[in-house]
Structure 1
């Protein structure tokens, strides 16, 4: 078995290296956030507030699907009967800053991954270090796919459901801008990180903290959790719930598959050593 190329470093040295990883990653986020400042109008009008408009691409897609499946206009969205308001003096300034930072984090994510890889690479085998580019590419791709899934699926379905839900005709929906933007940010970032599950499972399996048998054992619980999440964030119709649940279940099954491959290779290496 190839020996790991580990540079002898003390605990404080590792902390110092980690500190610089965080500093460089934070600097990258800030730089990307500053760049997004120049596109703020587009980001807010077309991206942040896009799901509040009936013409949003996801709503058009479901309307077309409704017609194709013979449901007429049953899941078509023609209006959004709510308003978004600001109730705090510094509210819009805070929202502007945090949206830019969130956008900066998303754009800087590949660089952050590269910094993390450089930090953990001394503990890897030489043959594993050769996969740096593949790791960064795949992990970044999964993250961006998750971000797109969160934005084009989770966010519009959540907005539509929450905007149309009412306990009484006496109550009118007037959402605080902070609440709305927080929902968008949480859905997008959480989805992006969830799509990183196969990568996380890969490393946890290599460390012996997770096994494919463990993931298979708790598959039924994972399915229940995914279905609950899908039921919470979507309108009460099967099409919407399936649209949300299926990609999440595919990610979980992919994680089991990856864990099984890693466990198999790990056992093979142990037997040959």
Structure 2
């Protein structure tokens, strides 16, 4: 009984150690990002070609700078966060589990970055251009910087999460929780749910919802293909 209590205390101490390292890395990353806030803002505004922005309250710009610095601080800390997470869970895993969990973490990060890149370089410029072209002679586009940050953040995060779909399907298949036949059987229902999720994740406009819904549907089909390949390999082995 005492040994189990001691083991729990050791785990809690280890968890606290990992969390402290993660928090410190995020704080350092946030502080470092704020030093280069002008360069970071330039990167964020790059998709908004020929658009002007305003801020409508005295602290708005400063608060947005803090948010941007924090987000980039978390971003640059992701390798440390992943490393600390891996070091915490590694002792309790078997050799095969270690390989698969590590593979999942790395591929999950790759898929997430791919989704963000797709949204940043393709979807965001198209969406902004569409709305900017709706202006009239009497009505010119003039956007709040705060609203723009919310808009682009929702798009980037949404696409980053959506691009995780193949990895989720691979995990479910590898753990024998779902077979490819289930994904095929409920294809129509899933695609309907996909477009409902697209309407919830994106800003309230049809264009953004379609631009997210279509890639989600294509990723689902790609996920089925991955699932079939993995399932067939498992059956042979």
- TM range, smaller chain: 0.7 to 0.9
- Choose between structure 1 and 2: higher helix proportion: 2
Give me the CA root mean square deviation. Answer: 3.6
Matched, 1:201 2:197: no
CA distance in 1, matches of 2:221, 2:59: 45
Of 49, 52, 55 in structure 2, the residue corresponding to residue 53 of structure 1 is 49
Q: How many residues align?
A: 226
Taking structure 1 as the reference length, the TM-score comes to 0.65
CA distance in 2, matches of 1:127, 1:198: 21
Of 145, 151, 165 in structure 1, the residue corresponding to residue 134 of structure 2 is 165
Of 30, 34, 38 in structure 2, the residue corresponding to residue 37 of structure 1 is 34
CA distance in 2, matches of 1:198, 1:247: 12
Report if aligned partners of 2:53, 2:142 keep a CA contact under 8 Å in 1.
Answer: yes
CA distance in 2, matches of 1:122, 1:201: 26
Structure 2 counterpart of 1:156: 125
Q: How does 1:1-273 map to 2 (within 5 A)?
A: 10=8, 20-45=17-42, 47-54=43-50, 80=51, 83-131=52-100, 134-165=103-134, 171-207=139-175, 209-224=177-192, 229=198, 232-233=206-207, 247-260=215-228
Unpaired runs of 5+ in structure 1?
1-7, 55-79, 236-240
Kindly state the Cα deviation for residue 170 of structure 1 after the two structures are TM-superposed: 5.3
CA distance in 1, matches of 2:222, 2:20: 33
Report if aligned partners of 1:154, 1:233 keep a CA contact under 8 Å in 2.
Answer: no
CA distance in 2, matches of 1:163, 1:204: 42
3-state SS, counterpart of residue 42 of structure 1: helix
3-state SS, counterpart of residue 143 of structure 1: helix
Q: Deviations over 1:101-123 (max 9, x none)?
A: 11222233333333333444455
